Amino acid sequence: MSTTNINDSSEQLQILRRQYHSLYPIFKLDLPPSRILLENQSYLISHILDDTHLSRYAPEAGYQKSFWRKVVARLENGLDELMKGDPNSVCSHLLPTIPD
């Protein structure tokens, strides 16, 4: 993966994080492509779901539910695409995101 792709992925994830914490309207969310979300599940967990610095200011439950529904739908679509292409690649594609 090139540096440009890494920077682009990082920027897209940071935008998503800012949108979440600023209560950006769900229907206007700028979700990164499913590939980026699949490869960065640990970022979603540590910087959005379990962000200790912002946990006191977490969005209300309804917003969180709508946000995660949209993100999970994008993740599921990405997995479906991977399964259609090469089912054996799914595990190897996701292994780097599994914590030790």
Helix/strand/coil (H, E, C) string of 25-39? CHHHCCCCCHHHHHH
For residue range 22-39, what is the model confidence (pLDDT) as tens digits? 999 999 998 999 999 999
For residue range 42-92, what is the model confidence (pLDDT) as tens digits? 999 999 998 888 778 889 999 999 999 999 999 999 988 888 877 666 666
Q: By CB neighbour count within 10 A (0-12 exposed, 13-18 middle, 19+ buried), where does 75 fall?
A: middle
Q: What is the pLDDT of residue 91?
A: 62
Angstrom distance (rounded) from CA 94 to CA 35? 10
Angstrom distance (rounded) from CA 32 to CA 70? 11
Q: Reply yes or no on whether the pLDDT at 2 is more than 50.
A: no
Q: What is the pLDDT of residue 1?
A: 45
